[in-house]
């Protein structure tokens, strides 16, 4: 059993907490804030969806989503293990898209984000997975060694009625989802983040990110 310590807490959201894996620092562990939280937004539902995807497709490697590595038992209940997305230049955990969009961007940075956003949208459609929550605090911006950036979805995967969606319906659902959400364009995304109060995100940084 892995003991999750406060000093390794990355962040906490409305439903779950995320810790750096104490034995493998390039991974993180997500656990429910309440061990009896088994609803649509909890870890149990997410694990059910990943199990379904593996059974149907035979793989769990995606282009736009942090890699899932199964489960572990912790002192706070069952945890879901994922890649911890880090910037390649500093090895620090990558910042959320929300936090990055709230900063000033030069014309070069704007162009980089526009390109990264287009690529992220394309990869999400290619992955053919259902997302319940594409808010910018569920996406991180990873800095690459070559100076480029890429967006990675770290949370919000799944859907309450996922078994009703075939391959084509998933594509249509996600296509419409992306058009309605504030990931439609850089300008809309930037405006949305600037207009959204940090307190409304229900996202809190842990000791790791407060350093």
- The predicted-structure confidence for 123-182, as pLDDT tens digits, reads as follows 988 888 878 778 899 999 999 999 999 999 999 886 666 655 665 556 566 767 677 667
Q: What integer pLDDT is reported at residue 131 of this predicted model?
A: 80
Residues 94-125 pLDDT 10s? 999 999 999 999 999 999 999 999 999 999 88
Only one residue has tokens 């059910």, namely 48
Domain 6-83, CATH among 3.40.630.30, 3.30.465.10, 3.30.200.20, 2.60.40.420:
3.30.200.20
Cα angle 63, 178, 124 (rounded to 5 degrees) comes to 10
Question: Picking from 69-73, 88-92, 168-172, which range would have the lowest pLDDT averaged per residue?
Answer: 168-172
Residue 203's pLDDT band, with cuts at 50, 70 and 90, is: confident
Residue 38 pLDDT more than 80?
no
DSSP 93: B
Predicted pLDDT of residue 61: 85
Q: Report in angstroms the alpha-carbon separations of 180 from 73, 153, 166, 174.
A: 38, 17, 21, 10
* Residue 128 to residues 70, 88, 170, 178, 186, Cα–Cα distance (Å): 20, 27, 6, 13, 23
CA distances from 116 to 58, 92, 94, 172 (A): 28, 20, 15, 22
Q: What is the mean pLDDT of residues 38-52?
A: 74
Phi/psi region, residue 70 (left: phi>0; alpha: psi -120 to 50; beta: rest), is left
Band of residue 206 on the pLDDT scale cut at 50, 70, 90:
confident
Q: What is the pTM of this model?
A: 0.90
* pLDDT over 70 at 15, yes or no: yes
Average model confidence (pLDDT) across the chain: 86
pLDDT band at 193 (very low <50, low <70, confident <90, very high): very high
């Amino acid at each position: 059993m892995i003991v999750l310590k406060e000093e390794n807490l990355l962040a906490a959201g409305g439903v779950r907490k995320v810790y750096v894996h104490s034995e493998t620092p390039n991974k993180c562990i997500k656990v429910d804030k309440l061990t009896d939280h088994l609803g649509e937004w909890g870890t149990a539902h997410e694990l059910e969806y990943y199990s379904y995807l593996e059974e149907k497709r035979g793989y769990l490697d995606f282009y736009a989503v942090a890699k899932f590595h199964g489960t572990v038992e912790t002192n706070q209940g069952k945890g879901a293990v994922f890649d911890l997305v880090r910037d390649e230049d500093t090895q620090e955990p990558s910042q959320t898209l929300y936090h990055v969009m709230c900063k000033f961007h030069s014309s070069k940075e704007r162009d980089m984000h526009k390109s990264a956003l287009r690529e992220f949208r394309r990869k999400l459609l290619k992955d053919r997975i259902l997302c319940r929550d594409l808010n910018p605090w569920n996406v991180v911006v990873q800095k690459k060694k070559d100076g480029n950036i890429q967006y990675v979805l770290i949370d919000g995967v799944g859907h309450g009625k996922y078994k009703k969606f075939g391959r084509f319906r998933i594509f249509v659902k996600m296509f419409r989802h992306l058009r309605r959400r504030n990931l439609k364009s850089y300008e809309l995304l930037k405006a949305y983040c600037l207009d959204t109060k940090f307190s409304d995100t229900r996202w809190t940084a842990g000791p790791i990110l407060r350093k």
